[in-house]
């Protein structure tokens, strides 16, 4: 694909290229702009109304039977179906004069944290039981990506002043190496697979359930500093088996409620000095975090928690029940088609007793780590691209090319077309 | 001040400490938490309404006759008075299911840019005439701070692979050195005052009107790559004398409309490759920019531009007229009190013919660069802190300690208490 090659070339020296650009350029070739920003005016609105209208984007264009299905990113548009039904409970209204200041909480621990967002984060963890929040500082970041960088800044450099090594057991999230290395910082550097790293002088990223393969992880390096990326430790993806109480835990609204465009993550941090250094990073990087996003996220998290107090106790009010059912249905479909084709394999499901659902459940990971089991294809990402299915190849995760990561979080339409196409491969 | 010293120590190795932390800790000592997050429930709301309420923070606490006046940051709360009068025209409503995707414009040049925000940016520049937008790529960033980092990333390293030198003529914005150096990148490094930098192999930051002193600037390094920080090139601060058409121009909503908490900036970039590298940086740094902030900023900018079409043509509809009058009044008061005390001085105003207001106007800069003219004080920041006036000392800007930067953009209450206290000094 020439467009992809061009994109790879112009991305330059990093070596590790996030596939966002490459795949988007491919898509852009095919999709016309008409999906965006069209349809202004008309339709009986008066002048004042029309003047004040702002149209939001709609994300990726709808999938059709023939179109490209982009499952490269974990774009959580599956959740839109839930949020279309929540009405005012999840709608945020921000008047022009609100939250204009840089400051959210001058007297608080984190000056740019909206107090209401912190309140809702703590309430949600108490509802779900997936993490201990008492005794932890809550920090907010522009997605957990910014918080990840804040953490490695806070824990670096090594005691002897050399760059701190950053490791994670393969297969690891493809962004860890690129985000660690893009500025060639003197404070830290990517040092690869934690399983083969032969020193304890490191920061270990422990992603559990793991992106890309859904595995349940514990730190493998004994005396390194562990950072727990718990973006997917929610009951729609895995059994909640304990309230996690690690020193540093990262979460994101994207994968919990589906609001990726809001770019909001949070961290629970035990140690005060580490938290202060993380705040310093976010001050220097972006002078705090969008208050509009924080207010919206507070409203969204509040709707999730309050939904469990509403009658009737139905899926339309209960996000995790809605999302869990969706994930179970999707995994059942995927496992059936993979069994039928007999050329692919998937990781085992990992049953566990879930303290939230109060029953034993199988894991239903946000990504399928799909392996090709025959000898004739070395580049499964490329093979699937020929079928107009965009995925992310295993080499990006420190694995081999015969495995890919496939998002399970896209719209029903995209997922179903993916299943149809997979079924046609034998 | 012990609290400040503590803050300085724990900020660690940077040497250059953003004063956010230091001054906030001082403030936090004095202010009680009751200003934030209080007053829930009650007041006749029904249960459903109460359940869905999210309270926004109010920024810094109100200033009283005896309290600390924090004019360290350019916190643009002056503008709240305008936005309290704009009603629905500037109110954004975001339903729970909107803009959940990572993507704003898959087929566009910048995949995370909301098309409506781009439209409003271009409309505003056409209204004000402060920059050429035709033929430029519009990029969005989490404040112009993120865009600044995106630019230096895009233009680095030097051709021989060594770190690119980043310079600006003193006095320069105090964040330039710290934001350039905090990650000790191998791609770029802060190299100080452009006036004394003896090579052309550099990126020169040209801030005009200049933060901190309001000066009108042109690039001083002949063959360096110039980056124009035009955060303050709006008619409330300076005469608009031409539509700027530099290669790379940075703007921010904060200083144009007063919405600092929205953390939104934009860049106009001529060269496609530079723009693509900047997009790459923002992808890696924060996977795009908050869509909630972009939608809100689009609505706000739209209200500004459309305000100039409304009848009657009064200040309540015309942001730049409102802000200009405020700034003129404040500068008149400040110049009068500075003349009366006879111990301070200020930069000259810089009259010019403004193509927006269609008359010759004096500059009314967003910061006062206030110099102490007697011999007995070397640390003017410390001297004013004793008077409970928080400012930012000259050494932070590559100047001397007998000058400070004072924000002119705070609330009327804060500004007036500042003027009273200044008047009492002789």
Over residues B277-327, the pLDDT tens digits come to: 999 999 999 999 999 999 999 999 999 999 999 999 999 999 999 999 999
Residue A121 in tokens:
């984060």
- Chain A residues inside the 8 Å CB shell of B69: none
B37 vs B342 pLDDT, higher one: B342
**ipTM value:** 0.90
B140 & B43 share domain: no
Residue B257: closest C-alpha in chain A:
A100
In a domain, B413, yes or no: no
Residues 39 through 68 of chain A touching chain B, CB cutoff 8 Å: 48, 51-52, 54-61
| A395/A171 Cα distance (integer angstroms) | 9
Residue A293: closest C-alpha in chain B:
B292
Of A307, A322, A350, the position where a domain reaches its end is A307
Domain that holds residue B11: 1-58
In a domain, B381, yes or no: no
Count of the separate structural domains present in chain B? 2
Provide φ and ψ at B345, rounded to 5°: -140, 165
**Could you tell me if B12 lies within 8 Å of chain A, comparing CB atoms?**
yes
**Could you tell me if B95 lies within 8 Å of chain A, comparing CB atoms?**
yes
How far is C-alpha B418 from the chain's CA centre? 20
B302 & B211 share domain: yes
**Could you tell me if A92 lies within 8 Å of chain B, comparing CB atoms?**
yes
Closest CA to B72 of B417, B378, B410, B423: B410
State the pLDDT confidence band at B58, using cuts at 50, 70 and 90. confident
B41 & B177 share domain: no
Instruction: Summarize the confidence of residues B46-68 as an average pLDDT.
Output: 81
Residue A287 in tokens:
């002078």
**Could you tell me if B101 lies within 8 Å of chain A, comparing CB atoms?**
yes
A138 & A25 share domain: no
A168 & A273 share domain: yes
User: According to the model, what pLDDT value does residue A113 have?
Assistant: 98
Tokens 């500042």 found at: B418
**Could you tell me if B358 lies within 8 Å of chain A, comparing CB atoms?**
no
CA distance A298 to chain B (A): 7
CA separation, residue B4 to residues A278, B18, B24, B379 (Å): 19, 12, 9, 15
**Could you tell me if A366 lies within 8 Å of chain B, comparing CB atoms?**
no
Task: Determine whether the interchain pair A91/B93 forms a contact, defined as Cβ–Cβ distance below 8 Å.
Answer: yes
User: According to the model, what pLDDT value does residue B96 have?
Assistant: 97
Of A276, A307, A338, the position where a domain reaches its end is A307
**Could you tell me if B89 lies within 8 Å of chain A, comparing CB atoms?**
yes
Residues 226 through 255 of chain A touching chain B, CB cutoff 8 Å: 254
Residue B289: closest C-alpha in chain A:
A263
Residue B279: closest C-alpha in chain A:
A21
Residues 23 through 42 of chain A touching chain B, CB cutoff 8 Å: 24, 27-28, 31-33, 35-37
**Could you tell me if A77 lies within 8 Å of chain B, comparing CB atoms?**
yes
Residue B19 pLDDT > 50, yes or no?
no
Residue among B54, B87, B288 minimizing CB distance to A263: B288
Task: Determine whether the interchain pair B145/A287 forms a contact, defined as Cβ–Cβ distance below 8 Å.
Answer: yes
CA separation, residue A130 to residues A52, A122, A208, A225, A227 (Å): 42, 11, 12, 21, 16
**Could you tell me if A6 lies within 8 Å of chain B, comparing CB atoms?**
no
CA distance A289 to chain B (A): 7
Residue A168 in tokens:
């994670």
B23 & B155 share domain: no
Task: Mark B323-350 as b/e (b = at least 16 C-beta within 10 Å).
Answer: bbebbeebbebbeebbeeeeebebbeeb
In a domain, B419, yes or no: no
Residue A231 in tokens:
């973006």
A41 & A166 share domain: no
Pairing between β-strand B389-390 and β-strand B69-70 as defined by DSSP bridges: parallel
CA separation, residue B49 to residues A84, A94, A311 (Å): 19, 16, 15
Least confident range of A45-54, B3-12, B185-194, B387-396: B3-12
| A274/B355 Cα distance (integer angstroms) | 51
Residue B144: closest C-alpha in chain A:
A286
In a domain, B73, yes or no: no
Closest CA to B197 of B227, B235, B224, B167: B167
Over the stretch B130-150, which tens digit does the pLDDT of each residue have?
Answer: 999 999 999 999 999 999 999
Of B276, B307, B338, the position where a domain reaches its end is B307
- Chain A residues inside the 8 Å CB shell of B317: none
**Could you tell me if B225 lies within 8 Å of chain A, comparing CB atoms?**
no
- Chain B residues inside the 8 Å CB shell of A187: 183-184
Residue B337 pLDDT > 80, yes or no?
yes
What sign results for the dihedral spanned by CA atoms A51, A57, A63, A66? positive
User: According to the model, what pLDDT value does residue A39 have?
Assistant: 36
**Could you tell me if A186 lies within 8 Å of chain B, comparing CB atoms?**
yes
Task: Determine whether the interchain pair A264/B290 forms a contact, defined as Cβ–Cβ distance below 8 Å.
Answer: yes
Q: Across chain B, what does the average pLDDT equal?
A: 90
CATH number of the domain that B207 lies in?
A: 3.40.640.10
A124 & A39 share domain: no
Task: Determine whether the interchain pair A285/B24 forms a contact, defined as Cβ–Cβ distance below 8 Å.
Answer: no
User: According to the model, what pLDDT value does residue A357 have?
Assistant: 98
Residue B7 pLDDT > 50, yes or no?
no
| SS3 (DSSP) at B127 | helix
In a domain, A381, yes or no: no
Task: Determine whether the interchain pair B93/A98 forms a contact, defined as Cβ–Cβ distance below 8 Å.
Answer: no
B269 & B204 share domain: yes
B132 & B227 share domain: yes
Query: What is the pLDDT tens value at each position of chain A, 426 positions in all?
Result: 344 333 333 333 333 334 444 444 445 444 433 343 333 334 445 666 666 678 898 888 889 989 999 999 999 999 999 999 999 999 999 999 999 999 999 889 999 999 999 999 999 999 999 999 999 999 999 999 999 999 999 999 999 999 999 999 999 999 999 999 999 999 999 999 999 998 878 999 999 999 999 999 999 987 889 999 999 999 999 999 999 999 999 999 999 999 999 999 999 999 999 999 999 999 999 999 999 999 999 999 999 999 999 999 999 999 999 999 999 999 999 999 999 999 999 999 999 999 999 999 999 999 999 999 998 999 999 999 999 999 999 999 999 999 999 999 999 999 999 999 999 997
B134 & B211 share domain: yes
Cβ pair A151, A278 in contact under 8 A? yes
In a domain, A232, yes or no: yes
In a domain, B15, yes or no: yes
In a domain, B393, yes or no: no
**Could you tell me if B267 lies within 8 Å of chain A, comparing CB atoms?**
no
Task: Determine whether the interchain pair A262/B32 forms a contact, defined as Cβ–Cβ distance below 8 Å.
Answer: no
Cβ pair B102, B287 in contact under 8 A? yes
Q: What is the 3-state secondary structure (H, E, C) of A30-79?
A: HCCHHHCCCCCCCCCCCHHHHHHCCCCCCCCCCCCCCCCEECCCCCCHHH
- Chain A residues inside the 8 Å CB shell of B96: 83-84, 86-87, 89-91, 299-300, 303
Residue among B27, B153, B302 minimizing CB distance to A54: B302
User: According to the model, what pLDDT value does residue B198 have?
Assistant: 85
- Chain B residues inside the 8 Å CB shell of A52: 88-90, 299, 302-303, 306
- Chain A residues inside the 8 Å CB shell of B287: 20, 143, 145, 263
- Chain B residues inside the 8 Å CB shell of A263: 286-291
A vs B: CB pairs below 8 A = 363
| B301/B275 Cα distance (integer angstroms) | 23
- Chain A residues inside the 8 Å CB shell of B277: 12
User: According to the model, what pLDDT value does residue B43 have?
Assistant: 44
Over the stretch B83-96, which tens digit does the pLDDT of each residue have?
Answer: 999 999 999 999 99
| A82/A88 Cα distance (integer angstroms) | 13
| B122/B128 Cα distance (integer angstroms) | 10
A37 & A119 share domain: no
Task: Determine whether the interchain pair A262/B292 forms a contact, defined as Cβ–Cβ distance below 8 Å.
Answer: yes
User: According to the model, what pLDDT value does residue B256 have?
Assistant: 98
């Amino acid at each position: 694909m020439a467009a992809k090659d061009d994109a790879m070339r112009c991305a330059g020296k990093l070596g590790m290229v996030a596939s966002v650009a490459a795949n988007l350029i491919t898509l852009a070739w095919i999709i016309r702009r008409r999906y965006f920003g069209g349809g202004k005016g008309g339709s009986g609105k008066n002048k004042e109304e029309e003047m004040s209208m702002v149209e939001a984007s709609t994300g990726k264009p709808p999938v059709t039977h023939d179109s490209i299905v982009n499952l490269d990113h974990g774009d959580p548009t599956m959740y839109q179906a839930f949020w279309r039904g929540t009405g005012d409970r999840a709608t945020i209204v921000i008047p022009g004069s609100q939250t204009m200041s840089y400051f959210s909480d001058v007297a608080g621990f984190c000056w740019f944290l909206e107090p209401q967002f912190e309140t809702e984060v703590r309430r949600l963890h108490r509802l779900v039981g997936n993490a201990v929040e008492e005794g932890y500082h809550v920090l907010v970041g522009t997605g957990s990506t910014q918080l990840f960088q804040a953490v490695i800044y806070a824990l670096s450099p090594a005691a002897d002043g050399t760059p701190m090594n950053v490791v994670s057991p393969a297969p690891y999230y493809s962004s860890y190496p690129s985000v660690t290395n893009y500025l060639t910082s003197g404070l830290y550097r990517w040092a690869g697979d934690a399983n083969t790293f032969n020193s304890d002088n490191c920061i270990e990223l422990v992603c559990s359930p793991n992106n890309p393969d859904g595995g349940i992880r514990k730190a493998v390096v004994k005396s390194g500093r562990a950072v727990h990326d718990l973006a997917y430790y929610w009951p729609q993806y895995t059994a909640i088996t304990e309230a996690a109480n690690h020193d540093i835990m990262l979460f994101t609204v994207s994968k919990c409620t589906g609001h990726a465009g809001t770019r909001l993550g949070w961290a629970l941090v035990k140690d005060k000095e580490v938290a202060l250094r993380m705040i310093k990073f976010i001050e220097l990087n972006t002078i705090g975090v969008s208050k509009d996003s924080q207010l919206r996220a507070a409203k969204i998290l509040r709707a999730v928690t309050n939904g469990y107090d509403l009658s009737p106790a139905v899926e339309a009010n209960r996000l995790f029940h809605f999302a869990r059912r969706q994930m179970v249905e999707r995994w059942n479909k995927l496992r059936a088609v993979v069994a039928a084709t007999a050329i692919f394999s998937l990781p085992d499901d990992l049953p566990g007793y879930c303290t939230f659902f109060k029953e034993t459940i199988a894991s239903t990971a946000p990504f399928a780590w799909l392996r090709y089991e025959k000898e004739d294809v070395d580049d499964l990402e490329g093979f699937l691209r020929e079928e107009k299915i965009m995925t992310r190849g295993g080499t990006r995760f420190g694995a081999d090319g015969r495995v890919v990561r496939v998002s399970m979080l896209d719209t029903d339409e995209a997922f179903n077309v993916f299943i149809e196409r997979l079924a046609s491969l034998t």
